[in-house]
């Protein structure tokens, strides 16, 4: 075992000693492919768990993060007991001292129930499956609709604020810390040319009501069980007050492209319109009267905004030297930015058709 691995195992042992369970025979495997935290599966003879090291550089409000998740889980459980929430609610375990997370050295950790026989998908394969995905994420938001937004902490300020993200891009361009600007100047210019769209987003955002939203509704933040049926919404790290269009937009971003988030074969990219139709129809239906007409109109704005905002964030991180999103190859963030900005262009071009599909 190398030093890094040994030190990781030592930290994990220290973390687990704080929980009231016998982990002496636990097997540890790496889980998932998130861009920020490190997540592990613990398998013991009696039960399975998810152990997560929360990236404290990014999630500086770590205690608020796990407290939010705890409050949300409690609320969802109550809704479930009242017959108002159909999905499973994976619980965060409390330490012996009753804490929602634990600090070891400079790192924060938390432990959650692992939902047995569950798995994630990176792609939606059919409109029927998309309908289930949209309904699951809408059920999640509906069940939280009576949780006051003031009770939930803001975990990352201005997370989906387009003005803030454009300002960050502007600073990254001005600094050009890694001398990378020349190779992506055209993409940068394209982003700054979208001021008309940006103004529209700013305008509509002011008129929309706040909900407790998930803010990272990627398809791989939904657990599925046999028959590819959604069984639980996971990754509550960025749950905080937000807009429904953001959650809808991230679903579209990760379900409606035929290519992966970092695939640069942009000439081969297309939008899966049948999937989009299933998403928007079922999302709106699941809300019933709990969504306003303006919120319904905003869903298509969200579908354009999420690829754009995440594309600009990848581009900013590329210019800054890949400090935020984990990368696994040279120019990985640039590739992600190219792909997401192309997706933004495709969604924008398809807008008249998308509006019809939403009727």
Query: Where along the sequence are the contacts to ligand ADP (CB under 6 A)?
Result: 31-32, 34, 36-37, 39, 50, 90, 112-115, 118, 120, 220-221, 223, 234-235, 237
Smallest distance, ligand GN1 to C-beta of residue 144, A: 19
- 34 versus 90: smaller Cβ distance to ligand GN1: 34
Please check whether residue 308 is in contact with residue 222, taking contact to mean a CB–CB distance below 8 angstroms. Answer: no
Smallest distance, Mg ion to C-beta of residue 237, A: 8
- 92 versus 342: smaller Cβ distance to ligand ADP: 92
Identify the residue among 12, 16, 23, 34 touching ligand GN1 (CB under 6 A): 34
Please check whether residue 315 is in contact with residue 241, taking contact to mean a CB–CB distance below 8 angstroms. Answer: no
Smallest distance, ligand ADP to C-beta of residue 40, A: 9
What residues numbered 221-260 form the site for ligand GN1, per CB under 6 A? 235, 238
- 305 versus 354: smaller Cβ distance to ligand GN1: 305
Please check whether residue 145 is in contact with residue 88, taking contact to mean a CB–CB distance below 8 angstroms. Answer: no
- 79 versus 221: smaller Cβ distance to Mg ion: 221
Q: Which CA distances in Å does 95 have to 38, 288, 339? A: 19, 39, 42
Helix (H) or strand (E) holding 50: strand 48-54
- 115 versus 169: smaller Cβ distance to Mg ion: 115
User: Count of H helices and E strands in the chain?
Assistant: 11, 9
Exposed / middle / buried, residue 93 (Cβ in 10 Å: 0-12, 13-18, 19+): middle
When asked if residue 216 is in the footprint of ligand GN1 (CB under 6 A), the reply is yes
When asked if residue 102 is in the footprint of ligand GN1 (CB under 6 A), the reply is no
Identify the residue among 34, 230, 302, 311 touching Mg ion (CB under 5 A): 34
From CA 331, how far away is CA 184, in angstroms rounded? 11
Side-chain-side CA neighbours of residue 84 (13 Å): 14
Q: Which residues bind ligand GN1 (CB under 6 A)?
A: 34-36, 58, 216, 218, 235, 238, 261, 310
């Amino acid at each position: 075992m190398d030093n890094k691995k040994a030190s990781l195992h030592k930290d994990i042992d220290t973390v687990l000693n704080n929980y009231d369970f016998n982990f002496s025979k636990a097997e540890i495997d790496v889980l998932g492919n998130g861009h920020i935290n490190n997540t592990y599966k613990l398998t013991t003879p009696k039960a399975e768990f998810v152990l997560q090291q929360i990236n404290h550089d990014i999630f500086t409000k770590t205690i608020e993060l796990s407290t939010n998740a705890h409050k949300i889980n409690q609320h969802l459980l109550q809704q479930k007991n009242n017959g108002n929430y159909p999905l499973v609610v994976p619980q965060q375990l409390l330490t012996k001292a009753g804490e929602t997370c634990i600090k070891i050295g400079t790192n924060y950790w938390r432990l959650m129930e692992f939902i047995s026989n569950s798995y994630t998908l990176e792609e939606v394969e059919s409109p029927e499956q998309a309908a289930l995905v949209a309904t699951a994420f809408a059920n999640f938001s509906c069940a939280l609709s009576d949780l006051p937004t003031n009770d939930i902490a803001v975990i990352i300020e201005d997370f989906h604020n387009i003005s803030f993200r454009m300002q960050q891009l502007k600073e990254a361009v001005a600094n050009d810390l890694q001398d990378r600007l020349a190779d992506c100047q055209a993409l940068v210019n394209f982003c700054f040319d979208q001021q008309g769209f940006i103004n529209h987003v700013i305008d509509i955002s002011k008129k929309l009501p706040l909900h407790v939203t998930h803010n990272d509704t990627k398809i791989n933040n939904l657990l599925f069980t046999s028959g590819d049926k959604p069984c639980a919404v996971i990754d509550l790290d960025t749950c905080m007050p937000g807009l429904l269009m953001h959650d809808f937009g991230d679903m579209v971003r990760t379900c409606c492209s035929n290519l992966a988030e970092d695939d640069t074969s942009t000439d081969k990219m297309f939008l899966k319109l049948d999937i989009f139709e299933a998403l928007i129809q079922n999302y709106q239906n699941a809300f019933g009267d709990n969504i306003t007409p303006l919120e319904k109109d905003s869903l298509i704005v969200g579908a354009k905004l999420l690829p754009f905002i995440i594309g600009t964030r990848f581009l900013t991180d590329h210019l800054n030297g890949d400090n935020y999103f984990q990368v696994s190859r040279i120019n990985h963030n640039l590739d992600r930015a190219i792909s997401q900005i192309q997706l933004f262009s495709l969604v924008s071009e398809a807008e008249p058709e998308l509006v019809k599909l939403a009727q």
